[in-house]
């Protein structure tokens, strides 16, 4: 299990394919603030709620200078279906090898109904213009999380 990021840490670099197979890189966002959120699986109720909340508030984030990138272990094809089915506008990228999930501390031990297993830890990392971690939020809830980020960032 990887270490969780802390404010002030350098955000791990990544280049991953989006729903259309185009490369999305954190380095390409240098000079802008980026909200990177990690979710377990496309087309599931909680992840759909969260992706729709981000999509509904994209203009709010963009107006405050933030880009939003959602990362899951799904393949690009599944992300494309997710985007089409839910009419999502948020950038979704695929990390099937879980290397970026691991680098950000968003993959590890979870407990559910008394069972322990390895999985995606729903997390949100706010990266500043210089590529440093501004906030690192782990074990977040899907519902209400976007509203909390907007409030916390005073957007």
Catalytic residue at 47? yes
Please measure the distance between the N-terminal and C-terminal CA atoms of the chain and give it in whole angstroms. Answer: 33
Predicted local distance difference test score (pLDDT) of residue 2? 64
Calculate mean pLDDT across residues 5-9: 97
Which residue is catalytic, options 19, 34, 47, 94?
47
pLDDT digits (tens, 9 = 90+) for 79-131: 999 999 999 999 999 999 999 999 999 999 888 888 998 999 999 999 999 99
- Report the distance separating Cα 134 and Cα 97, nearest Å: 26
């Amino acid at each position: 299990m990887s270490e969780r990021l802390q404010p002030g840490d350098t955000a791990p670099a990544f280049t991953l394919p989006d729903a259309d197979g185009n490369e999305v890189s954190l380095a390409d966002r240098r000079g802008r603030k980026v909200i990177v959120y990690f979710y377990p699986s496309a087309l599931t109720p909680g992840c759909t709620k969260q992706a729709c909340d981000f999509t509904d508030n994209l203009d709010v984030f963009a107006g405050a200078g933030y880009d939003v990138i959602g990362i899951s272990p799904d393949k690009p094809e599944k992300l494309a279906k997710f985007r089409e089915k839910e009419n999502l506008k948020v950038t979704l990228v695929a990390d099937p090898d879980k290397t970026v999930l691991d680098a950000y501390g968003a993959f590890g031990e979870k407990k559910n109904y008394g069972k322990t297993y390895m999985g995606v830890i729903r997390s949100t990392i706010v990266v500043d213009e210089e590529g440093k971690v501004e906030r690192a939020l782990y074990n977040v809830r899907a519902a209400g999380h976007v509203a909390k980020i907007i409030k916390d960032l005073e957007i």
